[in-house]
Structure formats: C-alpha cells, structure tokens
Structure 1
Amino acid sequence: MPANPKYLTKSPWQRFAKISAAILGGYMVSVALHLALASWFDRINVVITSTYSSFILWAVLMVLAFLAKNGWRIWGIYLLATLLLGIIVYFGNNTDLALQ
C-alpha cells in the first residue's frame, strides 16, 4: 500500500535536509552524547555501553528527523545539540590527559 501523497515532502531540498539530518545529524548527536558521557564518567564502561546505546539513539534520532515538518530546523537542533555536547566534552574531566 503506497503512502498518502499529502503527507510526503514535495520539495527536494526538504527531502535532502531530512535525509542528511537523519543520517549525519543523528550520528553526530549520538557520538557527541557518548563522548560527553565518557569525559565525565568511567570511559571503559561508556565505550562498552555505547556499542548498543549509540545505535538505538541514532535510530530514534533518524525517526525524529523524518517526523519533523522542516528539515532545516531539525538540522539546526541537531547542530545545536552537538555543539552543547561538545562544550560539555571540552569542560569534562580531562585530568588523565594532563598527567601524560
């Protein structure tokens, strides 16, 4: 059964924005979240847990990107989330690196 055409995105730029936000943006947010967790908590446990949880988070973020009405807005949200998580990584507990 085909999808109802009134729910499909008609603009090719919106379609591109949603697909790229789903694949690249979702991946960036899931990796940034796990890097932020690894900078504050035990790195070994976060790396072991991230093998499964990053894929699940990435899949959820992919679905959310396609549920959004505007692909560029979801890109902005994903980039903002990645930036905030990057700031958390920057200010994380990096005492191990200072000792080397």
Structure 2
Amino acid sequence: MPANPKYLTQSKWQRFAKITAAILGGYFVSVTFHLALASWFNRANILMTMAFTGFILWVALMIIAFLAKSGWRIWGIYLLLTLLFCLFIYLGQTCNPIAS
C-alpha cells in the first residue's frame, strides 16, 4: 500500500535538507551533547555510556528531522543546539579542568 502523496515532501531541496539534517545534524547534536556532559562529569563513564545512548539519541533526532515541516528550520535548530553544546564543552574545559 503506497503512501498518500499529499503527505510526502514535494520539493527536492526540502527532502535533501531533511535527509542531511537527520543524518549529519542529528549526529552532530548527539556527539556534542555527550562531549558536553563529559567535560563536566566523569569523562570515562560518559564516553562509555555514549556508545549506547548516543545511538538512541541519534535515531530519535533522525525521526524528529523527518517529522518537521521544514528541513531548513530543523537544520537551524540542530546547528544552534550543536553550537550551544560546543559552548558548554568550552566552558567545561576552562572552568572545570578536573573532569578533563
């Protein structure tokens, strides 16, 4: 049973944006989130759990990217989250050198 065409994305650019946001953007958010946690807490424990929770978070972010109306908006949200987590990584490494 094929999908109803009215629910499918018509624009090729929107489809490209959603696919790349799901794969690359979700990966960037997932990795920077766990690295931000590792810069504030016990690095070994966080990086060991990242092997499992990182994949689960990445898949959840992929699903969210395909549910979004606009591929460009989800790219913007993922880039903002990535930059925010990069800021937390920077602050964690400068303000909390014990966890490093």
Q: What range describes the TM-score normalised by the shorter chain of this pair?
A: over 0.9
Provide the secondary structure at the position in 2 that maps to 1:2. Answer: coil
Residue of structure 1 aligned with 2:97, choices 83, 94, 98: 94
TM-score normalised by length of structure 1 = 0.94
Q: Counterpart of 1:4?
A: 4
8 Å Cα contact 2:18/2:66 also seen in 1: yes
Whole-angstrom CA distance in 1 between matches of 2:81 and 2:99:
26
The RMSD of aligned alpha carbons is: 1.0
Q: Which runs of 4+ in 1 moved over 3 A?
A: none
Residue 26 (structure 1) aligns with: 26
Q: TM-score, normalised by structure 2?
A: 0.94
Structure 2 residue aligned with 1:69: 69
Structure-1 separation of matches of 2:69 and 2:99: 44
| Shift, 1:96, TM fit | 6.3
- Distance in 2 separating the partners of 1:46 and 1:54: 10
Opposite residue 25 of structure 1, the aligned amino acid is G
Structure 2 CA distance for aligned equivalents of residues 5 and 32 of structure 1: 36
Q: Identify the residue that residue 41 of structure 2 maps to in structure 1.
A: 41
Unaligned runs of 5+ in 1: none
How many pairs are equivalent? 97
Structure 2: runs of 5 or more not aligned = none
Aligned sequence identity (%) = 67
